[in-house]
Structure 1
Amino acid sequence: MRKFAKILLVLVVVMGLLFYVGGGWYFSSVFKTDALETAPWPQYYETEVVSFGGAVVTLKEGAHPDEELMDPGVFGLEWSDGYGQLGPFVENDGTLVTREYAPVSGTNPAPGTLADVEATAFPSDPAVLGRTWQTVEYESELGPMEAWQVDGDGSTWAIMVHGKGAGMDEGMRMLSTLSAANLPTLMISYRNDPNQPADPSGFYQYGQTEWRDLDAAIDYAGSQGADDLLLVGFSTGAAIILSYLEQVPDAPSVTGLIFDSPNIDFGATVDYNASQRTLPGIGTKLPQSLTSVAKLLATWRFGVDWEAINYINENLRPIPTLVFHGTGDLTVPIETSLRLAAARPETTRLVEVAGAHHVGSWNANPRQYVLQVAEFLTSLDL
């Protein structure tokens, strides 16, 4: 009996090792694909325009679910030769969705048109906001990088840094919000973006190398007359900004920071996303212990330094900071922003937006977003 118990114990230990090593290896590979590889988010033009009535449009979802179509708030509708904004629901029977509609640019959508519903809410053209702009290049250590330079008044420049998988147009909602201040604005691309130089590692680095591109963009802005900076980061763009502020202690004058859904402790983000997953073939929740093993293997296999990409630390500088974070964010936990606000309570204002998804606070409540940004700019004398 004692011998049998020993054999059983050995089997349990072996099975446990197989579970954690095999499962950890599998999920570290999932992490590599989902988090480190650098492909942009796909865009599907599959939502069909069923009818168009001037101030309303009726749409039918395509093969790929379009969560923005079913979300309340303000979203963009883009097709091959036009762009509009979707507003409140008029009718939704679960198959056809009718929403208020406002044209932005191009032609009106004809029945049968295939479109994409997107959170960006504006086309990739600052001119639709009445702003004069041009595509420029700034010189980084890896070579020239593209940016949109939007004209404005004064020597305080806004520099916008988009999140992973997004593009420069992620800043269009903020640009519309900042338009009243008419700040000169630089909306930058950086390494691993489409048609831009790749990071030598081949991976996304969550601020550990991308900060150098922001540094180069700031040098460019200085050459164009920028004396002070308002740095704006969306999701992982906030991590790039905080990494820059860590790495460049003698940085030019940074007047303020605006973050939207800041992904500034990527280890916590991985834990949060893993908590929403289930074990393949079993259906039970992924245990935190397995996530921890997968993260250890990611360090060994891919060189991920989890401590380095947690920017909520003693290096945080006391710069006036406005943070938006949606309570419905399933990508970056709102607890990250709560920790940031707790770490620098004297300089940080956190706006929790009810129901908003990741980088979706403007979409959920544009009026509140605009008012909060306007108050923040006033406090900075901008």
Structure 2
Amino acid sequence: MSRDSNPVVFDGHNDALLRLWKSGRSDAVQRFVSGEDEGHIDLPRAATGGLGGGLCAIYVPSERVLDDDGNFPTPTRAEALEVTMAQAGLLARAERESQGALKICRTAQDIRTAFANGSFASVMHLEGAEAITADLNLLYALYDMGLRTLGPVWSRPNIFAFGVPFRYPSSPDIGPGLSSYGKALVRSCNELGIMIDLSHLNEAGFWEVAKLSDAPLVASHSNVHAICGHSRNVTDRQLDAIRDSGGLVGINFGVSFLHPEGKRDLAMDLSMLVRHVDYIVDRIGIDHVALGSDFDGTRIPEALRDARDLPKLIDALRAGGYEGHDLEKITNGNWLRVLEQTWGA
């Protein structure tokens, strides 16, 4: 699927809803719809850059870092519920106020239709399930509101699992795996057809999801641990399991997750991002790599100001030898395949 000469980009992660919520502005949604100077994404800049849609995260931030090891405090359930519903409301308002320029998508066909109509194909994603209690009742309510992908944790513990802390250099093998509640959450997500995102889950949790889940394994916004030894990145063994399940890795644009020394090098050339793509393609194949920018949630290379500059990344991928159908797989096709397989529609 393409618009003009470039394929449409479907992106595995953005934190635009967090940015809108944190702004506290009464006109935040209208500014997102009509265009603004803040952040990485709004609808006009997405249209300019060929960003056709993506997973729009609902995330409840931690107020502070607890210690020098990168451990974050877990919000209370009351805090998480309030923020989760507020951000879900912002997404619903954006759909209403955009008058068709943004659509909340519940099926792969919804995404294709949005692409065809020039609408932003938004998928509601929950990044950290702190608002959900052990009875899982809210999971079903959120599903009916449009939730179709879920990360059980962010990089902190909750009742479901242990999120991997931000550490460099470090293995992702930090802490215990899923709780009994986490295992029930995985089973319910499989039942409903909600994609389980592994990007902030530690290694023990990853392997327990791999054992329990019958859906493709997905790390929506992570990179290659063999290149950048950050705890948030995916090891070779995890990559192999993702391939065997039919899943994918969405390449994160965050410089700290790209740089071989974990540096926040904003002057980084986009060839470094392509290097991570190359590694995944060489190890597990072209069908298992996509994009997961982390727009509005991390520091990205200066070569990519915001969504408007996605054509520069496509040029870098072309310079790396990716053309035609292979380029389309990276930019949107692999996401569509995995979501269709997971959702069953």
TM-score (norm 2): 0.40
Q: Between the two structures, name the one with larger relative contact order (CA 8 Å, sep ≥ 6).
A: 2
Which has more radius of gyration? 1
**Where is the strand percentage greater, Structure 1 or Structure 2?**
1
Name the structure where helix makes up a greater proportion of residues. 2
TM-score, structure 1 normalization:
0.37
